[in-house]
Amino acid sequence: MFGVGDRVRARVMNPAGHTRLPAYLRGRPGRIEHVLGTLPFPDQRAAGVVSAAQTAYTVRFAAHDVWGADGEPRDSICADLFESYLEACE
């Protein structure tokens, strides 16, 4: 479980089925902004596991970490992501 302020990285993953992790965020570092709590986990629910749930977080990514030189230095992107999409980042 992560807490507000923790540095994380969106996992690099290419599942065969449903995922709510945007491809453009995979492998990018970010910081936990807010813990949303336990929510229904759509990846498993799409496969018929109706009771599936995970902790979700609002994660802020610096625009330059996502878009490279095209990202404005002061801009950022926030995404609500599930715990299994994230890994600790030092």
**What predicted TM-score, i.e. pTM, was given to this entire model?**
0.92
What would the mean pLDDT of 66-73 be, rounded to a whole number?
91
**What would the two tokens of residue 86 be?**
């994230």
pLDDT in tens, 25-52: 999 999 999 999 999 999 888 788 888 8
Give residue 60's identity as a one-letter amino acid code.
R
The predicted pLDDT at position 19 comes to 87
Higher pLDDT, 80 or 70: 80
Work out the mean pLDDT of the chain and round it to a whole number: 93
Q: What are 79's strand-pairing partners?
A: 59
The predicted pLDDT at position 32 comes to 98
Sorted by where each starts, the structural domains of the chain and their CATH numbers stand as 7-88 (2.30.30.50)
Asked if 43 and 17 count as a contact pair (C-beta separation under 8 A), the reply is yes
